[in-house]
Amino acid sequence: MTSAGQEPSAVAPDLRSNIDDEDSPASAERRLESARDIRQRIIGLVEDYVAASQREEGPFVPGRTPVRYAGRVYDEREVTNLVNASLDFWLTEGRYSAMLEKALAQFVGVGFCRLVNSGSSANLAAFSSLTSARLGERRVQRGDEVITLAAGFPTTVAPIVQHGAVPVFVDANPRTANVDITQLEEAFSSRTRAVMFAHTLGNPFDIDAVLTFCRRHDLWLVEDNCDALGSRYTTQLGDAPDTRYTGTFGDLATSSFYPPHHMTTGEGGAVYTDSEELDDIAASFRDWGRDCYCKSGKDNTCGIRFEHQLGELPFGYDHKYTYSHFGYNLKMTDLQASIGLAQIAKVADFGAARRRNFAYLRENLAHLGEVFDFTEATPRSDPSWFGFLATVREDAPFTRGDIVSYLEGHRVQTRMLFAGNLVRHPCFDEMRERKSGYRVIGDLPVTDRLMERAFWVGVYPGMGIEHLDYMIEQFIACCDSFGVH
């Protein structure tokens, strides 16, 4: 029987623990060999299966094969990793999680990374970290304000509300669909403590403007990088221009690994930072709020497990069960991490494909600029695009509904810009009625326009030229039918 609490080696699969203690060394060795052989055979079969099943998918048939907005892109490496992780049967955070945290931190260019079970959990862990009493005067408290974008995804904002802080919504810039930086100063008040923005559809927000604002007022910055892993931005705030990946500019940043995103683990996400203190706090919120930082299956990493005196607990109370935060359990399993480890090795290539696909659509739809406004990259950015956003102009002879139903009717998937205008959703009904709990800067006209007129189509790496050409044909055919050529 496999012994509980024993961590498998990061190099060779842990098969020794399957061996009965009473076995002689020779028979144990034989059994070990045979388990290794079986694993090898399983992995070989899995490789064959993935190759065969992917061949079965067949060629693209225009009008019949769906052109998806996004999807998993994988080969045998993801599946063999997953099968290996399942044969390890470690299940919770383990060797694959450790490797993925390291690989992700290295890829992004940050010191610390924690895996979590979704991008929403990443946002929750990141924002919760800012509320920690360990941060003293700088912590975000109930009633403090956090500046964020109204055109976005709900779980960028949910943690702010859940912690009793007040989201202050600014409008979007019509060209980038990202934060309108001219509203930042107006949004600031004596209660402002933090700024939390997503890089919309992979397009970095104006990082230099936001960082300058944050530094001027001593505010935390959380980058919701869920849609932008691999996007680059060149900051000019230092002595020389410095190009880095998004996720390295804020105090904390987050990723989502839900299948449409730049890499996938099924469900999954990550929180990353350069601050050891914030990393410790994020880990505590992720892991039940505990003070202890032992990895799953480990005891006494601190070496003084029974020698702490914290809170009003008796001296020596087990550090493993000592809680410094009101936390959650947001951990990723090793099964998910094993998939992510194969994916992270491909993220740079995925990003190149996203950029190529976006540029191809942009170039071949450019002549439709009189009916659509197409999103532009933020100055000094190089987005790893999540999608291709188009806004139907007011003077176009058709509506968003017309083009979206034409595309969908021809098997081209479309998506709205997530929540559109967040404050118009039913989750705000109660706060709207009592006129408290959030603030809005101006009337959010650009956000409303995005809500009413914008939609996006895919650029994900699973698309080939045939998908893109077909999609372009459908855009053109729809416009043709309304007399736009």
Ligand X SMILES: Cc1ncc(COP(=O)(O)O)c(C=O)c1O
The answer to whether residue 456 forms part of the interface with ligand X (CB under 6 A) is no
Among 69, 127, 153, 245, the residue binding ligand X under the rule CB under 6 A is 153
Q: Which residue out of 163, 217, 261, 308 is catalytically annotated?
A: 261
- Decide whether 131 or 225 has the Cβ nearer to ligand X: 225
| Two tokens, residue 363 | 């170039």
Does residue 122 contact residue 268 with C-beta atoms inside 8 Å? no
Q: Which stretch binds ligand X (CB under 6 A): 64-72, 223-231, 363-371, 475-483?
A: 223-231
- Decide whether 84 or 156 has the Cβ nearer to ligand X: 156
Residue 403 CB, nearest distance to ligand X (Å)? Answer: 22
Among 145, 180, 224, 251, the residue binding ligand X under the rule CB under 6 A is 224
| Two tokens, residue 41 | 């055979």
The Cβ-side half-sphere exposure at 8, using a 13 Å CA radius, reads 27
Residue 254 CB, nearest distance to ligand X (Å)? Answer: 7
The answer to whether residue 119 forms part of the interface with ligand X (CB under 6 A) is yes
Among 120, 132, 183, 474, the residue binding ligand X under the rule CB under 6 A is 120
The answer to whether residue 198 forms part of the interface with ligand X (CB under 6 A) is yes
Q: Are strands 166-170 and 439-440 parallel, antiparallel or unpaired?
A: parallel
* Active-site annotation holds for 261: yes
The answer to whether residue 155 forms part of the interface with ligand X (CB under 6 A) is yes
Residue 198 CB, nearest distance to ligand X (Å)? Answer: 4
Closest CA to 290 of 319, 323, 331, 316: 323
Does residue 284 contact residue 326 with C-beta atoms inside 8 Å? no
- Decide whether 254 or 324 has the Cβ nearer to ligand X: 254
How far apart, in Å, are the Cα atoms of 306 and each of 291, 298, 314, 315, 351? 13, 15, 10, 8, 48
Q: Is 185 exposed, middle or buried (0-12, 13-18, 19+ CB in 10 A)?
A: exposed
User: Tokens 């090898």, residue?
Assistant: 40
Q: How far apart are CA 384 and CA 201, in angstroms?
A: 9
Q: Helix (H, G, I), strand (E, B), or coil: what is residue 97?
A: helix
The answer to whether residue 223 forms part of the interface with ligand X (CB under 6 A) is no
Q: How far apart are CA 282 and CA 423, in angstroms?
A: 28
Size of the site for ligand X (CB under 6 A): 14
Q: Which stretch binds ligand X (CB under 6 A): 20-28, 83-91, 149-157, 210-218?
A: 149-157
Q: How far apart are CA 42 and CA 126, in angstroms?
A: 39
Among 192, 246, 248, 256, the residue binding ligand X under the rule CB under 6 A is 256
Among 60, 89, 258, 482, the residue binding ligand X under the rule CB under 6 A is 258
Q: Interface with ligand X by CB under 6 A: which residues?
A: 118-120, 123, 153, 155-156, 198, 224, 226-227, 256, 258, 269
Task: State the catalytic residues.
Answer: 261
